[in-house]
Chains A and B, each alone.
Chain A
Amino acid sequence: MNIVVLGLSHHLSPVELRERFAFAEAKIPDALKSLRESGVATEAVILSTCNRVEIYAATPLTPDAAVIELKRFLQQWGETPGEQAGSSRRDDRTARRAVPTNIGDELYSLAEPQSLHHLFKVACGLDSMVLGETEILGQLKQAYALAHRHGHTGARLNKAFQRAFNVAKHIRTETNIQRGSVSVASVAVELAEKIFSSLNGREVMVIGAGDTSEKTARALLSRGARSIIVANRSPDRAVALAKELGGRAVQFGDWAAEFQKIDIVISSTAAPHHILDRARLEPLMKLRHHRPLLLIDIAVPRDIDPEVNFLENVYLYNIDDLQAIADDYLRLRKVEIERCEAIIAEKVKALLTAKDVQPRMGTDEHGQKMKTIYPKPSPTFGKLVSFLVSILCLTIMSLKALATDLTNEWAKANWAYKQSDFQIALSHYNEILKIDSNNVAALIGKAGAYRGLKQFDAAENACNEAIRLSSNNLSLSLAFLYRGYVHTQTTNLNQAIDDFSKAIQYNPALADAYIHRANAFLLSGAYDPAIQDCNMAIMLLPGA
């Protein structure tokens, strides 16, 4: 019995493809039942998150045959209307038209021991978009618990998953891979916890508005900060943000009057000058009886004069400080990768030895991902026949999928885009937006199409809308990335650099952002930052 894994992840497939194959949690037990009844797996677990869709199966078949069957299962699942996660948001007509695109290189499959290695890596956060993130472990535990509760796991997967959870715990305690925060908001909270004994009851003021300042405020609230006061030039925006954060709004000109009670200030205005300097802060500190004050200045240009850091009990951090800490944490995590890989290799070996199971596939210790769309031929007659049959099946399936793909708006839009028919692509993206007006991916696609048509203002507007509607870091980072492209093309290099920086802030592993920011630095004559960004891009994508 071999454990195999088949899946899509953020590494190889875009979100438009992953969402096609995502499993709604309510449907997973049925999917597992169907999978086991088909005979391809005796035990199975399905992991479906925003960044990956994976099927772990203990199979009596050979790994090659099992992978073919799993792929068929996955494609059939993706073709069935209403089965995908979030499909309840679409109407029936759309669900019937929501046919998956042809998945090829985006899919990966692994057999033992690489499948176990992969499982352990996923559990430890080593395969995540944000290296070392801990959310995936919880998601993996939930996926396993769901399968286990419905009786779809057995001795093989139980042992493998339990061991994976133990390995994740071991790595968390023995290494720094999960140490620290890699987002600006989390770094700000960590700093606050280094200054104040407790964040419970601390008063926070947000001056101005911005996504990062809002995220930081939320992070502080989640750690016990008492109340939020919002001051913004736009009273409506201040009231709206205060309402969202459970605080109150004050007039922008009155923020200094609130200073006596405040412990933490998050500043992110569009003011071209300093709104707070040493001369203004000194008397305010006296009013506060010199209690510690944390100032987080996220604005560019800076809102707060750096000289205030020399005042007693004042701790000032600007966006570069926070980003540098987040980057350093990420670098520390990267340094730990090799150590974690060594621990994982040792644990996989121990697991295999304990089960007295020899891996069915080759003992390639580097764990190369194999693309099994075209299975490797084998000298034996039986395997040769199996190979020819699978090729025939795949060809038929691909032609069928291609025919149905053409009726799908997404496929048409992407196809047109690839062919540089930007006007046609634009019309299809607009069709998608008519059905789902909040579709951020379509807005980003539109921005790309407008860029192709050299309509940069429209492209920028589409990006701004995408930024406004984005609800997760991935889409935010892509929206900023595309806006950065637009600004580069309009030679607005400072703005481009700022956008690429924001893209990196939301997704530190986004190599394209580093590459294009390096380009913008180069064009503006800043060679050292350009080199640093190129080095970072090379680190993220060795082939870049």
Chain B
Amino acid sequence: MAWFIDRHCFLLAVMFYGLSTVYSVFLWRMGFRKDDHVNYFLLLAAFALHTVAMFKRGFSLNQCPVNNLYEATTFFAWAIVAAYLVVGLLPRLRFLGAFASPVLFGIGVFALMPALDPPPGPKPEFSGALTSLHAATSLLAYGAFGFGAVAAGMFLTQQHDLKFHKLRAVLSLLPPIQRLETIAGWLVLAGFILFTIGLEAGRYLPRPESTGYWTDPKVVWSIFMWLVYLALLVLHRMRLPSSRGFAIGIIGAFVFLLLTFWGTNLLSPLHHQ
């Protein structure tokens, strides 16, 4: 029954993400002209319920709740909203919530699919702190990538307005595009560092002898994503793609991540138990 109750908490959190999404549409139609705390508090309420859900799950399992796709997805979404709540303390960056809430709502609805959350089986032999480190850092990295994509989306919106809808750009309270580019860059860098730690931790996890490490689909996928983000960071440092190109790259990489994460997880013998 414990995990049933925590799913209810998460369901309530997703409803708050939904409310925030609806309110974000309203803010967008207003052209982001008025600083508003409503969205921040909606996401704060959702975060509180989300955290309760994760804690309940963790306590019931007596370990970090990253053992199946539902838990991984909720952790991933939790990382995004946690990052936003910190960054959103700054008034001008509060509008990032308007861009983050649709992503969170989408991820939340997806996570609630029953097939993603089978009842917990026997505890695997190789569970422990290293597993938690690997899973937590990887998922936090995905969260940072996701939030970076949100900042990049905001950048593209503001940049488009500055070029073509000039009054709306001037009237909106969105931060300057240079700052948005910097934030997106820092988030991708933070995500990359966490991802590197997560991958490295995963290399030392015990695994069944019959299972190859370098041929595992999830490992291949992870290395590919690692290389993609490395390329984005290096090229950005060399200022080779334009700022717009960098933003599109961040969003593209995250969309690819979202679309392929669950599939590769299911295909991976190392991760699919």
Nearest CB in chain A to that of B174: its residue: A194
Residues in B neighbouring A10, C-beta threshold 8 A:
none
Question: Is the beta-carbon distance between B239 and A180 smaller than 8 angstroms?
Answer: no
Q: Kindly provide the distance from the CB of A304 to the nearest chain B CB, expressed in whole angstroms.
A: 14
Question: Is the beta-carbon distance between B176 and A193 smaller than 8 angstroms?
Answer: yes
Question: Is the beta-carbon distance between A317 and B182 smaller than 8 angstroms?
Answer: no
A292 at the interface (CB under 8 A from B): yes
Question: Is the beta-carbon distance between A292 and B243 smaller than 8 angstroms?
Answer: yes
A290 at the interface (CB under 8 A from B): yes
**How many Å lie between the Cα of A321 and that of B167 in the bound state?**
9
B163 at the interface (CB under 8 A from A): yes
Nearest CB in chain A to that of B177: its residue: A195
Q: Which of B158, B239, B242, B245 contacts A194 (CB 8 A)?
A: B158
Residues in B neighbouring A16, C-beta threshold 8 A:
none
Q: Kindly provide the distance from the CB of B164 to the nearest chain A CB, expressed in whole angstroms.
A: 8
Question: Is the beta-carbon distance between A290 and B243 smaller than 8 angstroms?
Answer: yes
Q: Which of B171, B179, B244 contacts A312 (CB 8 A)?
A: B244
* Interface of chain B: mostly helix, strand, loop or mixed: helix
**How many Å lie between the Cα of A324 and that of B169 in the bound state?**
13
Question: Is the beta-carbon distance between B243 and A194 smaller than 8 angstroms?
Answer: no
Nearest CB in chain B to that of A288: its residue: B239
Residues in A neighbouring B245, C-beta threshold 8 A:
312
Can you list, as one digit per residue, whether each of A313-343 has a CB less than 8 Å from chain B (1) or not (0)? 1010100010011001000100000000000
Q: Do A313 and B167 form a contact, CB below 8 Å, given A194-B158, A197-B182? A: no
Residues in A neighbouring B242, C-beta threshold 8 A:
290, 312-313
**How many Å lie between the Cα of A292 and that of B177 in the bound state?**
9
Can you list, as one digit per residue, whether each of A406-447 has a CB less than 8 Å from chain B (1) or not (0)? 000000000000000000000000000000000000000000
Q: Do A194 and B167 form a contact, CB below 8 Å, given A292-B177, A313-B243? A: no
Can you list, as one digit per residue, whether each of A194-214 has a CB less than 8 Å from chain B (1) or not (0)? 111100000000000000000
Question: Is the beta-carbon distance between B179 and A197 smaller than 8 angstroms?
Answer: yes
Question: Is the beta-carbon distance between B162 and A315 smaller than 8 angstroms?
Answer: yes
Residues in A neighbouring B162, C-beta threshold 8 A:
191, 194-195, 315
Question: Is the beta-carbon distance between A325 and B170 smaller than 8 angstroms?
Answer: yes
A190 at the interface (CB under 8 A from B): yes
Q: Which of A180, A197, A309 contacts B170 (CB 8 A)?
A: A180
B166 at the interface (CB under 8 A from A): yes
A481 at the interface (CB under 8 A from B): no
Question: Is the beta-carbon distance between B163 and A194 smaller than 8 angstroms?
Answer: no
Residues in B neighbouring A292, C-beta threshold 8 A:
177-178, 243
Question: Is the beta-carbon distance between A325 and B178 smaller than 8 angstroms?
Answer: no
**How many Å lie between the Cα of A292 and that of B182 in the bound state?**
13
**How many Å lie between the Cα of A328 and that of B162 in the bound state?**
16
**How many Å lie between the Cα of A194 and that of B166 in the bound state?**
11
Nearest CB in chain B to that of A176: its residue: B33
Nearest CB in chain B to that of A309: its residue: B163
Residues in B neighbouring A309, C-beta threshold 8 A:
163
Q: Which of A197, A291, A321 contacts B166 (CB 8 A)?
A: A321
Residues in B neighbouring A290, C-beta threshold 8 A:
239, 242-243
Residues in A neighbouring B178, C-beta threshold 8 A:
195-197, 292
Q: Kindly provide the distance from the CB of B116 to the nearest chain A CB, expressed in whole angstroms.
A: 40
Nearest CB in chain A to that of B182: its residue: A197
Can you list, as one digit per residue, whether each of A261-298 has a CB less than 8 Å from chain B (1) or not (0)? 00000000000000000000000000001111000000
Question: Is the beta-carbon distance between A197 and B163 smaller than 8 angstroms?
Answer: no
Residues in A neighbouring B158, C-beta threshold 8 A:
194
Interface residues of B in 226-269 (CB under 8 A from A): 239, 242-245
A187 at the interface (CB under 8 A from B): yes
**How many Å lie between the Cα of A317 and that of B178 in the bound state?**
18
Nearest CB in chain A to that of B164: its residue: A309
Question: Is the beta-carbon distance between B182 and A325 smaller than 8 angstroms?
Answer: no
**How many Å lie between the Cα of A195 and that of B167 in the bound state?**
14
Residues in B neighbouring A180, C-beta threshold 8 A:
170-171
Question: Is the beta-carbon distance between A312 and B182 smaller than 8 angstroms?
Answer: no
Residues in A neighbouring B166, C-beta threshold 8 A:
191, 317, 321, 324-325
Residues in A neighbouring B163, C-beta threshold 8 A:
309, 315
Q: Kindly provide the distance from the CB of B50 to the nearest chain A CB, expressed in whole angstroms.
A: 32
Q: Kindly provide the distance from the CB of A328 to the nearest chain B CB, expressed in whole angstroms.
A: 5
Residues in B neighbouring A194, C-beta threshold 8 A:
158, 162, 169-170, 174, 176-177
Nearest CB in chain A to that of B161: its residue: A194
Can you list, as one digit per residue, whether each of B153-186 has a CB less than 8 Å from chain A (1) or not (0)? 0000010001100110111001011110010000
Question: Is the beta-carbon distance between A195 and B170 smaller than 8 angstroms?
Answer: no
**How many Å lie between the Cα of A289 and that of B246 in the bound state?**
14
Interface residues of A in 169-195 (CB under 8 A from B): 179-180, 187, 190-191, 193-195
**How many Å lie between the Cα of A324 and that of B176 in the bound state?**
21
Q: Kindly provide the distance from the CB of B162 to the nearest chain A CB, expressed in whole angstroms.
A: 6
Residues in B neighbouring A196, C-beta threshold 8 A:
176, 178
Interface residues of B in 36-50 (CB under 8 A from A): none
Sample 7 A-B pairs with CB under 8 A, ordered by A number: A179-B171, A191-B166, A194-B170, A196-B176, A196-B178, A290-B239, A312-B245
A-B pairs, 4 with minimum CB distance: A312-B242, A289-B239, A197-B179, A197-B178
Contacts A194-B158, A332-B171 known; 18 new A-B pairs at CB < 8 A: A180-B170, A191-B162, A191-B166, A191-B169, A193-B176, A194-B162, A194-B174, A194-B177, A195-B162, A195-B178, A196-B176, A197-B178, A197-B182, A292-B177, A292-B243, A312-B244, A313-B244, A317-B166
